[in-house]
Amino acid sequence: MFIDKAIVEIRAGNGGNGAVAFHREKYVAAGGPDGGDGGKGGDVVFVVDDGANTLTDYRFKRKFSAQNGEQGGAKRCFGKNGENCVLKVPRGTLIYDEDTGRLMADMSSDEPFIAARGGRGGWGNSHFATPTRQAPRFAKPGVPGEHFRVRLELKLLADVGLVGFPNVGKSTLVSVVSEAKPVIADYHFTTLSPVLGVVRVGEGESFVMADIPGVIEGASEGVGLGHDFLRHVERCRLLVHVVDVAGSEGRDPLTDFDTINSELEKFSEQLSSLPMIVAGNKCDLATDEQLAAFREAMEERGYDYYEMMAPIAHGTQEIVYACAKALRDLPPVKSFEPDPIVLPDPETVAQSRVPQITVLDDVYEVSADWLLPILRTIDVDDYESLQYFQRVLISSGVIKALEDAGIQEGDTVSLYDFEFEFVR
């Protein structure tokens, strides 16, 4: 099954906590703090896999996590870094932040992309030793890893895209000029997924041709296969518009031509501006008057026009040579530039860190999620650890928020499961 769109949740590893430990060795008195730092959390990394051509691997499994960093140890031993989570995607996959819509990366090159970075490891207590604080009993916690919901969209990398109504001969053309083997039958929507074929022109010269199915009237609005495959045309450098010039299904060839071009323009103005070669197929079923009328219409509109009978490969080589000639002067396959990262407003960040104070029965309850990791590292039985925590409360604005709320000396402060008496 051809899956070209998926939404997955990725989570980088958390950094390991720093260790609280003291050096113990025979004949060494008061060895001092020697707690090591925590390890870095693993990253979530996307890499290109040229052996894959769909996003089927992400159809059922939708959550991916990197390994957390290990905690620091005694003797200043660093915790082990968490292993990265490596996700393989087909070349041409676009990665979007699902919550903001920002394009994060275009996986068209061989460069890996770190989508979610692991958290830094916390410092061990050996970092906090000073001449006046020689036995710190606290350490820093690890930093949480990044977490995103990302949307993966595959946009095939092809030099030439075949467009046209169903059953006009696009799949047949691909099959006779390349080694591709699409399903070919005399009914609409035989091709239910894009088909890529490598077309060899001569020694050392080739290009990729894609049969794009599902383009009918209303496709730009979701009719038929709609948007499912129109986006695969966006990367093409050149379009070949295949038309049934005989009108074998009762439609007018020129009306078909205008209808498809209109759908391309509605979907994307860039598509309508792509160079286009017109291939008139089923010439053996058309009258001389039909052939002459359509040829004259294409010449008046300035298109390069070629006639062919795809099943017997008549005229197909001329189209191949025309495509190769046009591609020599065209820019390379389109790549999409990632959107810039929009940094949050400093005032918004400051507001998010303002502690919430609730007064219940003369108890001042403090809510500040960012304080929880710090609180876990505090040893309430150690004086120096409490001093460190007090400085954090002052520098972070918690004390000021309590004073603004009207707290008086001797009142009780509740910080989650930690309570203390307020002293100025």
- Total of domains in the chain: 3
Instruction: Kindly report the CATH number assigned to the domain that includes residue 236.
Output: 3.40.50.300
| Contact in structure between 57 and 49 (CB atoms under 8 Å) | no
Verify that 241 and 260 share a domain, yes or no: yes
Verify that 116 and 74 share a domain, yes or no: yes
Verify that 59 and 203 share a domain, yes or no: no
Verify that 208 and 323 share a domain, yes or no: yes
Verify that 142 and 237 share a domain, yes or no: no
Verify that 187 and 317 share a domain, yes or no: yes
Type and span of the H or E element at 265: helix 253-267
Verify that 103 and 174 share a domain, yes or no: no
Burial of residue 37 (CB within 10 Å: 0-12, 13-18, 19+) is: buried
Q: Alpha-carbon distance 181 to 212, whole Å?
A: 14
Encode pLDDT of 252-298 as tens digits. 999 989 988 888 888 777 777 889 999 999 998 989 999 999 999 99
Verify that 386 and 268 share a domain, yes or no: no
Structural domain for 221, as ranges? 160-328
Q: Alpha-carbon distance 263 to 281, whole Å?
A: 21
Instruction: Tell me what pLDDT residue 381 has.
Output: 75
Encode pLDDT of 340-359 as tens digits. 877 556 565 556 667 888 88
**pLDDT over 70 percentage in the chain:** 90
392 Cβ contact partners less than 8 Å away, ≥ 6 residues apart: 371, 374
Encode pLDDT of 177-196 as tens digits. 988 776 554 544 444 567 78
- The DSSP result for 183-195, as a single string, is ---SSTT---S-E
For residue 348, give Cα distances in angstroms to 134, 326, 340, 370: 39, 52, 19, 15
Verify that 220 and 297 share a domain, yes or no: yes
Instruction: Kindly report the CATH number assigned to the domain that includes residue 100.
Output: 2.70.210.12
Which residue bears the tokens 């003369």? 362
> Is the pTM value of this prediction over 0.75?
no
Q: Alpha-carbon distance 41 to 145, whole Å?
A: 7
Instruction: Kindly report the CATH number assigned to the domain that includes residue 361.
Output: 3.30.300.350
Instruction: Tell me what pLDDT residue 79 has.
Output: 93
**Which SS3 state, helix, strand or coil, does residue 385 take?**
helix
- Kindly state whether residue 304 falls inside one of the protein's structural domains: yes
14 or 389, higher pLDDT: 14
- Kindly state whether residue 335 falls inside one of the protein's structural domains: no
- Kindly state whether residue 337 falls inside one of the protein's structural domains: no
Encode pLDDT of 105-142 as tens digits. 999 889 999 999 999 999 998 888 888 778 888 888 88
Tell which residue, 106, 115, 8, has the closest CA to residue 57: 8
User: Cα–chain-centroid distance for residue 257?
Assistant: 35
Verify that 214 and 147 share a domain, yes or no: no
AA letter at 304 = D
Token duo for residue 158? 């092809």
Which of these three, 328, 355, 384, is where a domain ends? 328
Q: Alpha-carbon distance 145 to 44, whole Å?
A: 10
Burial of residue 6 (CB within 10 Å: 0-12, 13-18, 19+) is: buried
Q: What pLDDT band is residue 5 in, cutting at 50, 70 and 90?
A: confident
Q: Alpha-carbon distance 64 to 242, whole Å?
A: 43
Which of the listed ranges 32-36, 186-190, 373-377 does the model predict with the highest average pLDDT?
32-36
- Kindly state whether residue 414 falls inside one of the protein's structural domains: yes
| Choice among 82-86, 362-366, 374-378, 386-390 with the minimum mean pLDDT | 374-378
Instruction: Tell me what pLDDT residue 261 has.
Output: 87
Phi-psi category of residue 250: left, alpha or beta, with phi > 0 → left and psi -120 to 50 → alpha = left
Which of these three, 154, 186, 203, is where a domain ends? 154
382 or 326, higher pLDDT: 326
Q: Alpha-carbon distance 157 to 167, whole Å?
A: 24
- Kindly state whether residue 300 falls inside one of the protein's structural domains: yes
Tell which residue, 273, 281, 212, 275, has the closest CA to residue 242: 281
Q: What pLDDT band is residue 398 in, cutting at 50, 70 and 90?
A: confident
Verify that 5 and 148 share a domain, yes or no: yes
Instruction: Tell me what pLDDT residue 67 has.
Output: 97
Verify that 282 and 398 share a domain, yes or no: no
Instruction: Tell me what pLDDT residue 223 has.
Output: 43
325 Cβ contact partners less than 8 Å away, ≥ 6 residues apart: none
Mean pLDDT score of the chain, rounded to an integer? 84
